[in-house]
Amino acid sequence: MEGLIKLKAWLSLPLFGVGIFNMLVIFEVLGRQNKTSNPQVLRKLHKTVGWMGFLWMLFISLLCVYLIKQTSGAMTPRGAVHALTALILLFLMMVKILIVRSYRKLYSFVPGLGMVIFASLMTTLVLSSGTYFLAHSGSGHVHADSQKRDLVKKGQSIFNSLCAGCHYSDSSDRKIGPGLKGLSRLNNLPLSGRPVTRENLLDQLNNPYGTMPSFQGLSEEHKKAIIEFLLTL
């Protein structure tokens, strides 16, 4: 799952170039009084690059839909905002295509719409690739690793207190519930068969599958710690 998220972040980077390039082309075509380049050539170039960017974004959107499906629709607040801005962006791009191809009387709105699309594109990319690479940058990585180690250690302590009576953490053998060694390397959770994700592990704690007792009353911080520990097994 993490690999797909990383792939999506990298695949989104060319859209930065597409947006900036097309914006500069339009500035050249519409904003410069003394043309230094052939406007017709620039318009065709703008159109070609724009279509490539639109199709590329549709491909990334399909990847996003797959990722959301794998997490059973669970999204962070940032992810929800990112999804909303992406939908708005796709809608605006389709409106622009309709105006250019079918509703030429509204063509005067196209430059302004293009500016809005550019702003929406940059916002969407910052919320996706930007935040991903910032979170994984070297400057914050050491601190993040230290925090994660502390969280895992805390999760291990909570697991030993609340979960070890039913589950082994150092063996895949069944105790009362399934052994959890190697859980992070599995594609699916034992028993429920759902994908091994943080969201599904949290749901298992809150709304357990089978006879496992619910830990819904446990604090979110403690549940997060348990999940991080489980993902190290």
Q: Where are the domains of the chain?
A: 1-137, 141-231
What pLDDT, on the 0 to 100 scale, is given for residue 73? Answer: 58
d(CA 25, CA 46): 7
DSSP state of 137: S
How many other CB atoms are found less than 10 A from the CB of residue 182? 10
Between 67 and 184, name the one with better pLDDT.
184
What pLDDT, on the 0 to 100 scale, is given for residue 120? Answer: 87
CA angle 124, 101, 32 (to 5 degrees): 70
Place of tokens 């050539």: 41
Between 224 and 73, name the one with better pLDDT.
224
pLDDT tens digits, 21-73: 988 888 888 877 776 678 888 888 888 998 898 888 888 888 888 877 766 65
> Is residue 168 helix, strand or coil?
coil
Is the per-residue pLDDT at 80 higher than 80?
no
What pLDDT, on the 0 to 100 scale, is given for residue 29? Answer: 82
- Which of 26-30, 151-155, 178-182, 205-209 is least confident? 26-30
pLDDT tens digits, 111-165: 888 899 888 888 888 888 887 777 666 544 545 566 788 888 889 999 999 999 9
Fold of domain 141-231: Immunoglobulin-like (2.60.40)
What pLDDT, on the 0 to 100 scale, is given for residue 54? Answer: 87
Task: Record the tokens describing residue 171, joined without a space.
Answer: 């063996």
d(CA 57, CA 213): 43
The proportion of the chain whose per-residue pLDDT surpasses 70, expressed as a percent, equals: 90
Q: Quote the mean pLDDT of the chain.
A: 84
Rg (CA), the chain: 24
